[in-house]
Homo-oligomer: A and B are copies of this chain.
Amino acid sequence: MDPHLLRTYVAVARLASFSDAARELGYTQSAVSQHVAALEADLGLPLLTRRPVAPTPAGERLLEHAGALLLRLDAARADLDRFAAAPRATLNVAASPLALHPRTLAALPATGVTLRALPRDRVPAAVATGDADAGLVDGIAAPSDPLRLPDIAPLAATRVAEEPLAVVLPATHPLAGRTGVRLDDLVDARWLDAPAAGVPLGELRAVHGGPAGRGFRTALRYEGTDTRTLAALAADGHGLALLPLPAAGGVPGAAAVPLVAPRLVHRTELLLAAGARREAAGPVAEFSRRLRS
């Protein structure tokens, strides 16, 4: 199971074509065909159906493994490269949208910053592979609990901020006047599914477990990143939204009610490649220091 073979296989599966994969990888079609054949012979299993080209069940499974493996391989290479490379003067930050609040923005150096907004689950990978020098991720967790992040590579995570969570609902909603709301009170509600702008509802099940977390029914899916829009959608009755309290207020027609049970917070963490910690100087260290203080 040579990584080269895996890389080829992943490309073929993604493009659903041997020839296209060959073009993308700079091989001939013949080589790609031989790569896949070698993998199938090695594992003793067919991995792809031909005509149409699609992964078999075993192939699906291999895709999961291969993705993680190749990512980790890239991460390892990037990490080791950092040992050799001269320290740079620029700072490359990858952040999930909700991780960018006043506190984190204020810590950015005045010059030489590239800031990239990414989906939550791609931030750790960006830091691990060296695409970013530092990452900012947000998510929900029990108070002072760390976030649950995939361990692509050894990453150092440090707490940057924690804020209470609020449920955003229309001002006319029966619960709008409350000073706090329990998730159990809302089991039958419809929610807004907003992976980029909102707090990830899916994480609730993972973090909180238990009966309260299961079965969020979603009414509308919003793929943008703007929390005001999300709150406005909630005000309009398209469904409830879960947001950090500071981001939930000030939208006309919407009421933000703090979530009191389960006791969860919106948390932002700084992500650094664990190896990069040792550097005491440089823009990364500077950024990290300002976030910590």
Q: Give A residues with C-beta under 8 Å from B.
A: 1-3, 43-45, 57-58, 61-62, 64-66, 68-69, 72-73, 75-77, 79-81, 83-84, 142-146, 148, 150-151, 153-154, 206-210, 275
Contact = CB atoms under 8 A, between A and B. Distances in A.
Given A83-B45, A151-B151, A145 B209 contact: yes
Copy number in this complex?
A: 2
Nearest to A62: B80
A69 B76 contact: yes
Contacts of A77: 1, 43
A66 B45 CA distance: 27
Given A61-B83, A83-B58, A84-B44, A76 B146 contact: no
A144 B208 contact: yes
A72 to B, nearest CB: 6
6 contacts: A1-B76, A58-B83, A64-B154, A145-B209, A150-B151, A151-B151
A36 to B, nearest CB: 14
Contacts of A3: 1-3
A145 B150 CA distance: 17
Please report whether the interface of chain A is mostly helix, strand, loop or mixed according to DSSP.
Answer: helix
Contacts of A68: 72, 153
Contacts of A64: 154
A148 B209 CA distance: 13
B1 A146 contact: no
A138 B133 CA distance: 36
Contacts of A275: 61
